[in-house]
Structure 1
Amino acid sequence: MEFKQPSLKELLAQRQTLQQQVTAARQREAELVLAEIVRKMREYQISLADLMGREHESQEVTTTPVPKYRDLQSGATWSGRGRAPHWIVDKNRDDFLVRA
């Protein structure tokens, strides 16, 4: 008995069919999980704030960091956090300090 390998066209059609089945199964399962989560939240009286964590409610809105350095030529500023801008790299940072 001879084994006939499927053609590329047949394999692509099978892949598309399987992908559609995977997508549909994922959607069905996600809906079931979401319904279970909502049911448990109602059962235990869990709010969205509880779910996100209690500290989330009391967190203050984050503000933009205060500039610590200023380039006098361009007026650009840098808080000293993260990667240093090109105008301060390899230079004495004290020369760029913002004076209050």
Structure 2
Amino acid sequence: MAYQSVEIAELRAQQEALDKQMSEIKERETSHVLREIVLKMREYGISLNELMGSKPAQLHSEPAAMYRDPVSGATWSGRGRAPFWIAGKDRNQFLADPRGTAQVMV
């Protein structure tokens, strides 16, 4: 072990004590701040998603309809197996517009 003066040993012990004290105080302050944040979120109705800047997850959301049967009004997203009313036909005839009606191509 290398030589170490008494003064350096005392200073290191003080530093360790101060580091421990700072850690304990920071932990208490962090806990207090988190409680304040939670209370403010509840007071103003702020969700975690809003706090994180993200939109809420939409579970089981249906994809938008890309195709619409003009006869029955049935829709298809273009994913998966094609329904009977569009299978084997030109899909452009069944394109759905944003208003939800089929565009008839002549």
* TM-score relative to the length of structure 1: 0.48
Tell me which protein shows more helix as a share of its residues. 1
Structure of higher CA gyration radius = 2
* TM-score relative to the length of structure 2: 0.46
